[in-house]
Structure formats: structure tokens, C-alpha cells
Structure 1
Amino acid sequence: MTPTLYYVVCAVLSVTVLLGISMMSRVKTAVRGNIISAASVLAGIVVTLLYNRIASVGSIYVYMLVGVVIGSAFAVRVKMIQMPQLVALLNGVGGLASALVGILTLLGVGQWVSDFPVFSNVTAVLAIVVGVITLVGSLVAAGKLHKLLSQRPVIWKNHAAVLNFSLIVLTVSVVYSAFAGNVFGLPADVALILLISIAFSALFGFAFSIRVGGADMPITISLLNSLSGVAGAIAGMAISDILLVSVGGIVGASGLFLTQIMCRSMNRSLMDILTGKTSVSGKKVVQPQPVMEEPKSETPDEQPGKPSAGEILR
């Protein structure tokens, strides 16, 4: 397959994925849209493996069979009421895949060599950061919905400080990755970046998702779905895979639109959800006023020993 033909196929598959997602917005075409998107993604995987000579045709059939068995097992056993948990787990798997791509790229595993090593290192670390955040956040979301974790929002004493400190450390690690192996040239630099990125990404993912209440968790899962697409797009930039960048961007944008729609329909603010404000109220509870008993009538007819109006007229 020539590079020109590969790019044309990638463009067609990106359009069909977008078409399938748009068809899912209508009840009558949702099933067909799901099939079109899934088939397009499968075709994209096969084309990528063949074009880059990563796997032979025979091994691809084996991989597809393993995926069909695992996917069918989930589809048969998971009930519809448990679908949000399954979606959260799938988001986490997508984040894990992107993080693995970033790790292998940063370690230089494989025959692929980037023409822009600094850009490749930075995007690889970003893929690790966003991927691990998506993975840990999705696991917490699935655990809360499945009642393995408390559905009440958990807010620590210095919760905001933990999140801010994690973001600062992650930002420094991403910037430092531009110099690791290029300016300093020390292998320990790459190992240190990996450890810091994974640890603080996991901390940030856990901290931001644990303080979301169970009632607002579907919106958080939609946001994590968007993050899984963003992680995939960044991983595609790290390895110069145009199809991964395109499909990841589509998933990220559609997930963000869905998050906004859900926030409006549920009358929620995304920032309030992520900070746990929608589930924890600081207002005082107003106690209901006691019901006053109806005063007894003072009419002579209801009071014994007093003559009624009829008796007086007689």
C-alpha cells in the first residue's frame, strides 16, 4: 500500500466514523450508526497494522478473534442498567492504551524513529498524563456507580491544593521531557519523567473523580470519554499516526459536546460537578413549621350547658 492510498483510506474512514456518530443522535439510525463507526474503527486498525507491517494477515485474524470473544462476553453478561459502568471501563481501557503508546514512544521501543524527537517526547508524556488520568478517573467512576465505592462525594481538607500541586508537577514534567535524552542525554531522566508522570497523573485522576457524587457521575463519564479521545489523538501525534489523530479528535469533540448537552439537560454546571458542589450543600436545612391545631368552635350548639339560639327564641 502506497502512502497516498493509505492517507486516502484514512480520510475515508475518518468521515465514516464521523457519519456513524452523527447517526447515533437519532433513534431510527442509532443502530446503523453504531455499526458503521465500529466497522470503520476495525478497518482502521487492520489498515494501520498492514501498512506499517506490524502484523501479518494471519495474526490479525487471531487478534480479532480474541477481541470478539472478550467483547461478546461483556455484551452478554452486562445488563443495560450496568451500561454506564461498562462505558466507564471502556474509557479507562482507551486511556490505558494511549498511555502505553506514550510510554513505549518515550522509551524508544520499536523500529519507528521520529524526525522531531522533542515534539515526540512532549506528546508522549502528554499522552501518558491524559491517559492515566482517564484510566484512574474511569475506574473510580465505575466503582462508584457499581457501589464498590461510596457514592457520596469525598472532599479532603486540602483537596484543591492537591489538584493544583499535581497539575504543577505534571506541567513541569511535560516541559522537562523536551530536554530529556536530547540536552542532558541521561537515561535516568526518562525514567524519572515516567515515574513522576504516572504517579501524579494517577493522583490527579483519583482526586478529581472521587469528589463527584454518584448522581452526577454520568456527566463525569461523558467527560472521561472525551479525555480518552484526546489521549488517543495526542498518542497519534507522538507516533505520527494520522488516523489515530483524526479519530481521537472526533471522539474528544463529540464527548465534549455530549458533556455540555448533559449538563444543560440536568441543570448542572460542569465546574460545580467536578468540585462536588452539586452534591454537598452548604445551606441550612429549613425545619418545617409545626401545624397549628384548629381552635374549637365557641358556638352554643357545641358547648354543653349553654342554651342554643333556638331555645332562646322559644
Structure 2
Amino acid sequence: MNSSILLQFSTASLLSDPVYYILCGVLAMAVLLGIHFMSKVETARQGNLISAVAVALGIVITLIKKDILPVWLIYPGMAIGLIFGLILAKKVKMIQMPQLVALLNGIGGAASAIVASFALVSLYQSPDVFGKVTASLAIVIGTITLFGSLIAAGKLHKVISQKPVVLPLHQVITTILLVVLLFSIVSGGFLNNFSFPVLLSVMLIFAAAFGVVFSVRVGGADMPITISLLNSLSGLAAAIAGFAVTDILLVAVGGIVGASGLFLTQIMCKAMNRNLADILLGKTSVQGKGESKTEKAPEVAATEEVAATVNPAEVVKGVKKVIIVPGYGMALAHAQHLVKSLAQKLTADGATVKYAIHPVAGRMPGHMDVLLIEAGVPFEDVYEMDDINEEFKDADVAIVVGANDVLNPAARNAEGTPIYGMPILNVDQCSKIIIFNYDLKPGYSGVDNPIYNRKEGVWVIQGDAKDTVAQFLSEL
């Protein structure tokens, strides 16, 4: 009698439906709380931990509720994923974080596509049209996310050219792929035994092609938007896959990721003065350089002559207020620790030092904040653009390290350029500006920066930021 009861016992009975739904609600709220904490630098670490624990607990209760806890084959796969994740966490440098994020977005999309594919296999003879359509949609979106993210990661890691790649009849190809994918998703609701293998192949192949065609045309200047958009798509694919397999927790968490990614995408579009529709249609941000309607910049030599008359190290001596503007060049040169040392030196000499961060500085949202905090910069010294922009005109010196487009005054008056209308840091309003840049070439937008050509109050120090900032420190 007792053995019969034990044989009939199922791990799923450990969680009744009411308890399961309550736990799902609590975990979803925990993920939201984690995202809220991650919106502030000083609580970002705690937010990341809360969300990670919530997701881990979500995996556990899913294993229990779906009665798959005893399926031993799951655990070697989880162990491999855990080891791989720990290796990445240890070996990937902070400068490589944008491409890692892009890669993880792709892995999330692939996971959703795999789950949805198995769901579609189990449903193809079923009359459940909703389940088959949602499974088809998850396969398509997940595959697009995977291949689009692979291209984005390749561009960020310089395995693929960061320049936009425009194919012959690019827009026509994009439209055809979309039409075929929409047709295959609708057809997925009316599968029969004969059409299933062909339809699944069409979904995977055309979705992969669309992911590549979509991402390959995006240039470096739009990469922050692309990353956040792909993040949104990975969450959307997970949520739709949750509908296909009737998993409420997957729907909730996937929806949260998708919505937060979409909000972030809109914030990035506003910060870069880019239209999301243009990004979705594959229109590049790199256009003609354009010219300012109000002034034409003089030759670069004028700045070099001024810089030669006064040692930049003398400019910062005795100053009271300094604003440092870090950019992707600082990240590339791994100069964040030297920049912190420079700030400490200036503070020791009696100056107040603040850091100004543009929303799209670096290659993904929050990239500069993470780099500075990693270097030990105090949370309270880091300011977002809207909070510090009015202070440039009153600062004694602005020090720019590897930034260009985010402070380019052409955004105000050079109509027809990709950055026209983009909110920028008001560095040009400072009376004295010291710029550490590798060279005088334009940034990712391809638009010349008039600050380099200002005749007075600008010192441009060319070269690798790690070397030039170190040399500057030695002269103080």
C-alpha cells in the first residue's frame, strides 16, 4: 500500500496551483524591484543580485511544478551552462561587456526558439491554433534575435566591419523576408503532418536571414540602440514562448525584459535623436558630414598653435571646479583608473571634480558608469547629462577623455548630419577644455567636431589615452 502511494507521488504535487501562482507573482515583482534598483548606480549591484536570485528560484519552482525535477538529463546541461557562465564572468573584460551583452541577448533568443520549436512539434496535430501561432512567432523572433545579436557582437568585437553594410536592393530584401515570415507564422496555426518540416525550415532560414540583414546595416553610432532593441526582442521571444508552453512565470519575466528593453530603446533614441522606425528599416546613421549654417570651422592648425603656447598641465593648477567627460576612447585605452588618479590629484589640490556621462557614451547604456565605478570612482561624483549640463559654463576646466560625438556642437546647428538635434554635453560652453583623443578624426557619426578648431581655450592631446593621461599626471 505504501509503495503504491510512493509510486504515484509526483514532484508536481509539492506545489499546488494557488501556491505556484503566488510564488510566480512574488518572483516577477522581485525581478521588477531588481530592475528598479539597477536604475541607480549606488544600488545597481543589489538590483542585479535580486534579479539573479529571482530567476534562479524561478528555475527551481519550474522544475518542481512541471514535474521535471527527476529528469537527470537536465542537470548536465545546467552544469555546462553554469561553468561556461563562470568562465565568461572571470575572463571577459569590462571593455568587452557590450559584445557580451549582445551575445547573451542572442543566447536568450536561441533558448526561446528552441523551447518554441519543441512546443510546435508537440502541437502540430493539435487543433490549438493559438498555441501553434505563438510557438511559430517565438521561433521567428528568437531566431532573429540570435542572428541579429551575433552580427552586433561581431561588429562590436571588430570581427565584422563596424561600418554599415548595404546590400543591393537591401530594403526590398528586408520587405520580402518580413512578408514570408508573417505568412509562415499565420500558416503555423494550421499545420498538418506533411507541411511541418518544410514550414519550420522556412521559419528558421528566413528569420536567420532577416536577423543578419537587419543588423549588418546598422553602423557603430546606432549600436547602443541596436543592443537595447535586441534585448527587448529576447524578452519578447521568451514571453511568447511562455504562452506556447503555458508557463505563466516565463510570460511574466519575458514581458518584463521585453518592456524594459523597449523603454531603454526609446530613451536611447531620444538621447541620440534617432527614429526607431529608421533603425527598424535599416537606415544608417552615417550620412554626409554636412556643414553648420552658422559658422565654418577654421583649420585644425589653429588649435595646435594655441596648445603649443601653454602647457596644459599649467591650466589645471589652482582651479576650483573641474568636469571630466569620459568616452569610449577611455574604455578602449583602459584609462579609467588613470582618470580616477587624475581626479584624486586635482581634488587633493583643492578642486571639486565631477564626471559628466552622456546617455549613449560608450557602446551600450550605462557603459561609462560601470567602468568608472569599477575604477573606484565614488557614486556621488558621477552625474547624468541633464543633471550637470548647466554647470559647464561655470567650470574652470572641462577634461575630455576619448569622447567626441556626445559633445559635438554640430548637433545644434549642422543640419543634415546624423547627430543634428541630438542632446549633447555642453562642453563647448566651458572657457578651458583639455581633450585627450587618439586623433582628430570624427567620431562614429562621421561629423567633424568644431571644438577641435576653436582658437582659444582648447588643448588637444593626441595619442592613446592611457599614455597621454599618464604623461599629463606626471607633469602635475
Q: TM-score range by the shorter chain?
A: 0.7 to 0.9
Identity of aligned residues (%): 54
The partner residue of 2:160 within 134, 146, 149 is: 149
Tell me if 1:122 matches 2:133.
yes
Aligned-residue offset at 1:54: 1.1
Residue matched to 1:107: 121
- State TM-score, norm by structure 2: 0.56
Aligned-residue offset at 1:188: 2.3
The letter for the 1-side match of 2:199 is I
Residue matched to 2:81: 67
Tell me if 1:51 matches 2:65.
yes
The letter for the 1-side match of 2:206 is F
The letter for the 2-side match of 1:164 is T
Tell me if 1:139 matches 2:156.
no
Aligned-residue offset at 1:155: 1.0
Q: Distance in 2 between matches of 1:242 and 1:9?
A: 11
How many pairs are equivalent? 282
Gaps of 5+ in 1: 182-186, 292-314
The letter for the 2-side match of 1:150 is S
Q: Is the 8 A contact 2:236 2:255 kept in 1?
A: yes
The letter for the 2-side match of 1:211 is R
Q: Is the 8 A contact 2:164 2:284 kept in 1?
A: no
Q: Distance in 2 between matches of 1:278 and 1:61?
A: 45
Aligned-residue offset at 1:224: 0.2
- Which aligned pairs between 1:112-261 and structure 2 lie closer than 5 A? 117-181=128-192, 187-261=193-267
Cα 1:124/1:10, change in 2 over 3 Å: same
Q: Is the 8 A contact 1:50 1:57 kept in 2?
A: no
The partner residue of 1:94 within 108, 122, 147 is: 108
- Which aligned pairs between 1:11-90 and structure 2 lie closer than 5 A? 11-56=25-70, 64-90=78-104
Q: Distance in 2 between matches of 1:290 and 1:221?
A: 37
Residue matched to 1:281: 288
Aligned-residue offset at 1:57: 9.0
Aligned-residue offset at 1:285: 11
Aligned-residue offset at 1:93: 0.4
Residue matched to 1:299: none
Equivalent position SS for 2:190? coil
Q: Distance in 2 between matches of 1:114 and 1:53?
A: 24
Q: Which has the higher helix share?
A: 1
Residue matched to 1:306: none
The letter for the 2-side match of 1:100 is I
The letter for the 2-side match of 1:28 is E
Gaps of 5+ in 2: 1-14, 300-476
Q: Which has the higher strand share?
A: 2
Equivalent position SS for 2:189? coil
Deviations, residues 269-293 of structure 1 (Å, cap 9, x unaligned): 223344233113386999x8999xx
Q: Is the 8 A contact 1:123 1:234 kept in 2?
A: yes
The letter for the 1-side match of 2:195 is D
Q: Is the 8 A contact 2:229 2:261 kept in 1?
A: yes
Cα 1:10/1:284, change in 2 over 3 Å: same
Q: Distance in 2 between matches of 1:114 and 1:246?
A: 28
